[in-house]
Amino acid sequence: MRFYAPKGTTDILPDMAKKWRYLERKASDLFEKYEYEPIVTPIFEHTDVFQRAIGTSTDIVQKEMYTFEDKGGRSLTLRPEGTAPVIRAYVDNNMNQMPQPVKLYYTGPMFRYERPQAGRYRQFFQLGVEAIGSDDPAIDAESILLMIDYFRSVGLKELTLYINSMGCENDRPKYVELLKQYAIAHEQELCKDCRKRVELNPLRLFDCKEESCRRVMEHAPKITDYLDEDCKNHFNAVRRYLDMQGVQYIIKPELVRGLDYYTKTTFEVVSPLLGAQNAIGGGGRYNKLVEEFGGPPTPGIGFAIGLERLTIAVEKEGAFVAMEEKTDAFIAVADKAVKEPAVNLLYALRGAGIATDIDYTGRSLKGQLKYANKKGFRYTIFLGPQELETGIVQVKDMKTSEQYAIKLNELVDWLSNIVKSQTMGSGVTKQS
């Protein structure tokens, strides 16, 4: 009997999980510099939460949700995205009574029943931020700049930023009606799916990958030409803030993001390292969402980044190298007779903050050295009866092949000084 991970899921093994931890750590450090605070919401919510927020006409709600009934007869859904749960939590916990805006970030798995393909899973991971309680265009710019700042902080150099405005309830219905008329006039050229979209959700016509549909949509009316004064001013202000920070962007009127809740600013960042599926993050403003959940009228904006695709981009950029420098130590035990003092040394080193390990499978000394090498330990400490007797141990720097003779009672201090100087980036200080 053998078990396999469910279709569309994958185990994140240590090599990959370490990269994820690194990306998450860089994210939380930076998000907190921008004064965003962590929030953790349940992985499942009442199904209504997503139907209400994302919209019943979207692909997500129609086909992609993991919805189930629990033993109490409630309809629950594994979260397909992170914004709706955060907004539900904002209303649920009366966070509108806290100082505004409330700036939050989250990380965790999301679930969508989609056809699995390279880099796309049914359980996938996202990092996201939400700023709730401000309609200031400067905070739209902050959201965009934070995302760009983050991508740069993990080593991505070439990025393209697309921005758009989707208007508001005052101007968008008029535009959608216009778009619908346009699509009806070109119905013969549209694919089967798109013909259904014309009635249901004309904005989705922009998402179709079919050549003929794309050709039609290239000449479709552009939402940016139909914005009212308020939305136009807002969009121009966002652009000025981006210009002030020297961030380049391309206005892309077709960028009408897949969920119903977006209003005004939307944005997306793509990486040329990712080929056709090249978006690594996107977001936008959602000024009606808090009301949808029964809260007072409250504007909000946020973004989400896909961890899987981000990892591929950072790998392709070769930017994980910086984190791979290890300073761990391995105690090679030359004789079983010294196992106990070796274990004492192990805990002394760990107590001093040095990542340290020892053999647990009874390998020969040669086998231990092979293991240490394979696992990439930076320092190997040799401990045998002779070392205990003389009080002097040999420490080998596996990277430089240099060997040091160190007094056993000074070893912990000596090594922690070296490790400290290395993790501070000042390189190895040679001592003996």
Tokens of 18: 């370490």
In this structure, the chain runs to a length of 432
Q: Which of 27, 168, 372, 381 binds Zn ion (CB under 5 A)?
A: 168
> Following DSSP, what letter does each residue of 259-296 receive, concatenated?
STT-EEEEEEEE-GGGTTS-EEEEEEE-TTHHHHTTPP
Nearer to Zn ion, 216 or 329 (CB): 216
CB of 184 to Zn ion, least distance (A): 14
Stretch that binds Zn ion, among 32-40, 140-148, 216-224, 225-233 (CB under 5 A): 225-233
Q: Which of 191, 274, 279, 355 binds Zn ion (CB under 5 A)?
A: 191
CB of 189 to Zn ion, least distance (A): 9
Neighbours of 191 (CB within 10 A): 16
Nearer to Zn ion, 81 or 171 (CB): 171
Q: Which of 30, 178, 208, 237 binds Zn ion (CB under 5 A)?
A: 208
By CB under 5 A, residue 228 contacts Zn ion: yes
Helix, strand, coil abundance in the chain, percent, nearest 5:
45, 20, 35
Nearer to Zn ion, 208 or 274 (CB): 208
CB of 330 to Zn ion, least distance (A): 58
By CB under 5 A, residue 237 contacts Zn ion: no
- Gap between the terminal Cα atoms of the chain: 56
Nearer to Zn ion, 70 or 169 (CB): 169
By CB under 5 A, residue 135 contacts Zn ion: no
DSSP state at residue 63: I
What is the C-alpha separation between 378 and 398, in angstroms, rounded?
5
Residues in contact with Zn ion, counted by CB under 5 A, come to a total of 11
Helices (H), 70-228: 83-92, 137-153, 172-185, 192-200, 211-218
By CB under 5 A, residue 210 contacts Zn ion: yes
Q: Which of 170, 400, 429, 431 binds Zn ion (CB under 5 A)?
A: 170
Q: Which of 45, 135, 171, 308 binds Zn ion (CB under 5 A)?
A: 171
Question: Please, is 388 exposed, middle or buried when counting C-beta atoms within 10 Å of its C-beta (0-12, 13-18, 19+)?
Answer: middle
Stretch that binds Zn ion, among 205-213, 364-372, 376-384, 420-428 (CB under 5 A): 205-213
Tokens of 288: 């009606």
Which parts of 51-110 interact with Zn ion (CB under 5 A)? Answer: none
Stretch that binds Zn ion, among 15-23, 72-80, 141-149, 166-174 (CB under 5 A): 166-174
What is the C-alpha separation between 310 and 26, in angstroms, rounded?
13
Stretch that binds Zn ion, among 74-82, 155-163, 229-237, 375-383 (CB under 5 A): 229-237
Question: Please, is 246 exposed, middle or buried when counting C-beta atoms within 10 Å of its C-beta (0-12, 13-18, 19+)?
Answer: exposed
By CB under 5 A, residue 335 contacts Zn ion: no
Question: Please, is 218 exposed, middle or buried when counting C-beta atoms within 10 Å of its C-beta (0-12, 13-18, 19+)?
Answer: exposed
Contacts with Zn ion, residue ranges (CB under 5 A): 167-168, 170-171, 191, 194, 208, 210, 213, 228, 231
